[in-house]
Structure 1
Amino acid sequence: MKEFLDIALAPPTVVFTVLLVLVAFYWVLAILGLDLLETDVDLLGAVGLRGIPSSIAISLFTAFTWFLCLSGYAFLDELPWDGGPLGLLVVPGALAGGWLATRLMLNPLRYVLPEPKVPSRHDFIGRMCVIRTGTVTAHFGQAEVHSEDGSSALLQVRKPGDEALASGDSALIFDYDAEGEFFWVMPYDVALDPHKKGL
């Protein structure tokens, strides 16, 4: 046990030991419902680790790298001669091995942990909204809509036809114009809204 602690707390392994402790602390907070880290930045995709939540990918990489670094220095300590230059290869080897091991875990984890759905403007299609401008025409209008998580957004909306829509009226979002970056809406009875709780 003493030899294990000596290696785990000696540089440079101690850097990965500290990171592993932070990862463990993060997962304790996550279990308690305090999920503090999840990024949409495609940083992991740049190093070939796209496909699973970033918190899991970082945790796996840290654990594998720590284990390989610890094992590498433990192996060198058991050699009957001084490892010498071999010690300089442990950290780069652990980093490369940690990356490779994490990458090999991606395929089985993708089946267990499907990739999170990326929010899209098309998610608003089929939802009710409330008109926030005095009127809505084929060229002007804004409306407020609530998403599944309860957050609200102010959208640019347009209306075909001559039926009037005024401030406070409910309308149905039925299409999105990507070129004009606005949503098409039509008058609709709020009582028929399947997402009524979101309003």
Structure 2
Amino acid sequence: MSEFLHVALDFPTVFFSFLLIVVVGYWVVVITGLFDLDGADAPWLGFGGVPAGVTLSLLIATAWLLSLIGSQFATGPLLWAVPAVALAGGWLGTRALISPLRGLMAKEILPSRGDFVGRMCVIRTGLASHDFGQAEVTAADGSSAVVQVRTTGQDRLVRGDNALIFEYDADGEFFWVMPYESEH
């Protein structure tokens, strides 16, 4: 154990050992709940799609391991190249390790107009017909929006009428609605 500590705390591994202690401290804080893992993405140098904390942790741990191994095999002037080689190898190793992680990370689901389909709305213009109308619809998150609506056939809806959104017309950028009467 003392030989391991000697190698870990000797040049060139000592640089990465210090950073590894910081990484371990970071993860202790994350695990105890004092800090949130949902940090910023790490798009620099091709590391996008994975939180920066995970990316930096992998980079530092991989570089530390490569530096530890390199310090055992390099001698003399080659020992000075170990940190650069370890960092380059850590970068390559991290890129290889985070590729499968990108698919596991939760992607933010952005709202779309299609989310309104199947929702009830309230007509806000004096009249909604086959060629004109606006309605207010409430999204799942509680926010509301005023949207363009059209009716089919002879349906005419007036201000305050309830309607059901049943389709979105992407070409015309409006929603198809039909009268909706609730069964209280």
Are 1:148 and 2:135 matched, yes or no? no
Query: How far, CA to CA, are the matches of 1:169 and 1:118 in structure 2?
Result: 29
Change in Cα spacing, 1:187 to 1:49, as seen in structure 2 (3 Å) is same
Alignment of 1:22-61 (within 5 A): 37=39, 54-55=50-51, 58-61=52-55
Are 1:10 and 2:15 matched, yes or no? yes
Task: Choose from 97, 119, 125 the match for 2:93.
Answer: 97
1:123-155 deviation line (CA, Å, top 9, x unaligned): 221111111222212222221212222222221
Q: Is the 8 A contact 2:47 2:98 kept in 1?
A: no
Q: Is the 8 A contact 2:55 2:98 kept in 1?
A: yes
Query: How far, CA to CA, are the matches of 1:101 and 1:146 in structure 2?
Result: 42
Query: How far, CA to CA, are the matches of 2:47 and 2:26 in structure 1?
Result: 23
Query: How far, CA to CA, are the matches of 2:182 and 2:28 in structure 1?
Result: 47
Query: How far, CA to CA, are the matches of 1:25 and 1:186 in structure 2?
Result: 54
Query: How far, CA to CA, are the matches of 1:28 and 1:133 in structure 2?
Result: 54
Q: Matched residue of 1:10: which SS?
A: helix
Query: How far, CA to CA, are the matches of 1:164 and 1:80 in structure 2?
Result: 84
CA shift for structure 1 position 94: 0.7
Number of positions where the alignment pairs a residue of Structure 1 with one of Structure 2 = 176
1:135 match? 127
Q: Is the 8 A contact 1:69 1:90 kept in 2?
A: yes
Are 1:69 and 2:63 matched, yes or no? yes
Q: Matched residue of 1:75: which SS?
A: helix
Q: Which stretch has the larger CA shift, 90-99 or 1-10? A: 1-10
Change in Cα spacing, 1:137 to 1:18, as seen in structure 2 (3 Å) is farther
CA shift for structure 1 position 86: 3.4
Percent of paired sites with the same residue: 31
- Structure 1: where are the runs of 5+ without partners? 193-199
1:46-100 deviation line (CA, Å, top 9, x unaligned): x5976xxx44xx4443322121012122334444624222332222211110110
- Structure 2: where are the runs of 5+ without partners? none
TM-score (norm 1): 0.64
TM-score (norm 2): 0.69
Q: Is the 8 A contact 1:157 1:183 kept in 2?
A: yes
List, as ranges, runs of 4+ consecutive aligned residues in structure 1 with deviation greater than 4 Å. 1-9, 16-29, 34-39, 47-50, 113-118
Q: Is the 8 A contact 2:13 2:71 kept in 1?
A: no
Query: How far, CA to CA, are the matches of 1:191 and 1:2 in structure 2?
Result: 78
Change in Cα spacing, 1:158 to 1:95, as seen in structure 2 (3 Å) is same
